[in-house]
Amino acid sequence: MKRVLSNILVAGSVLAGMAFGTAAFGAEAAAASAVPDAEKGAALYTKGDTSRGILACVACHGANGNSGVPMYPNLAGMPHEYIALQLEHFKAPADKVIRGTADGKPTAMAPIVAQMTKEDMQNLSVFLSKQQLTQPAKAKQGDNKKVVERGRQIWRAGIPERSVPACASCHGATGQGIPSAFPRLSGQHPEYLEAQLHAFADGYRQQGGAENMMGKIANRMNKADIQAVADYAAGIR
């Protein structure tokens, strides 16, 4: 299936002898300052930083990461490692687009994260990971037994004949994901999930590694499969 859709070790060395104490102290100070600050993350999320051209995240992703707009994902309670990684992906150089549009260009998120430092990203990510998803999205086709059953089948058992693994094997039986590895999908907007599966399938969203696992999986699913499992994932609890 191919269809077009519009729409992070610093290496270093220390001198031996008397210089060691100073270097060690400096390393400790750097490590301490690198601890993510959720309060700074909250300020950046709600107010942005106009002096650096960083827009407030709340405008699209809602209060405390609860998005009221289907095209923008819920971020509340998402693993901080996952959020930080996605921000890094959005900031990828133009010649190495990891998350782009159907025409191969960076997404609208690219200019928003362009001036963010890694510290900003870590602060934002930790803030969001501490929030509660108070407005989880629901399945839109919960009354359609055929769609629900197909979504459940793919979630629990995959599509063996097309080498599609069970979604639950990575995202968990109830869609809570595996912190630092796989995102929570439960309560995510079904429209967003569907769009991302198509983006994976068509190659303009990648995972940044040599093996684009999700791209291969999504590319083996047809439109109805994607719609069904996206809807099921949103409603699973």
| 79 and 160 part of one domain | no
pLDDT above 80: residue 122: yes
Q: Tell me the β-bridge partners of 178.
A: 182
Residue 175 included in any domain: yes
Number of domains in the chain: 2
Of 95, 129, 163, the residue at which a domain comes to its end is 129
56: DSSP letter: P
Annotated binding residue at 60? Answer: yes
Annotated binding residue at 171? Answer: yes
| 123 and 150 part of one domain | no
Residue 103 included in any domain: yes
| 71 and 110 part of one domain | yes
Confidence of residue 181 (pLDDT cuts 50, 70, 90): confident
Annotated binding residue at 213? Answer: no
Q: What's the pLDDT tens digit per position in 48-61?
A: 999 999 999 999 99
Annotated binding residue at 18? Answer: no
User: Which residue range is the domain that position 88 belongs to?
Assistant: 38-129
Distance CA 20, CA 11 (A): 16
Find the length of the chain: 237
**Least confident segment among 15-24, 142-151, 164-173:** 15-24
| 180 and 217 part of one domain | yes
Q: What's the pLDDT tens digit per position in 169-178?
A: 999 999 999 9
Annotated binding residue at 116? Answer: no
| 158 and 124 part of one domain | no
What value does the mean pLDDT of the chain take?
Answer: 86
What is the secondary structure of the chain as a DSSP string? ---------------STTHHHHHHHHHHHHHHHTS--HHHHHHHHHH-BGGGTBPPTHHHH-GGG--SSTTS---TT--HHHHHHHHHHHTS-GGG-SBB-TTS-B-THHHHHTT--HHHHHHHHHHHHTS---S----TTTT-HHHHHHHHHHHHH-BGGGTB--THHHH-TTS--BTTTB---TTS-HHHHHHHHHHHHHTSB--SSS--HHHHHHTTS-HHHHHHHHHHHHH--
Mean pLDDT of 153-169: 98
Residue 8 included in any domain: no
Q: What is the pLDDT of residue 49?
A: 97
Of 75, 94, 129, the residue at which a domain comes to its end is 129
Of 129, 162, 191, the residue at which a domain comes to its end is 129
| 166 and 228 part of one domain | yes
Q: Tell me the β-bridge partners of 99.
A: 205
pLDDT above 90: residue 211: no
Instruction: Provide the terminal-to-terminal Cα distance of the chain, rounded to the nearest Å.
Output: 30
Annotated binding residue at 121? Answer: no
CATH code of the domain in which 195 resides: 1.10.760.10
Annotated binding residue at 167? Answer: yes
Confidence of residue 210 (pLDDT cuts 50, 70, 90): low
Annotated binding residue at 170? Answer: yes
| 178 and 117 part of one domain | no
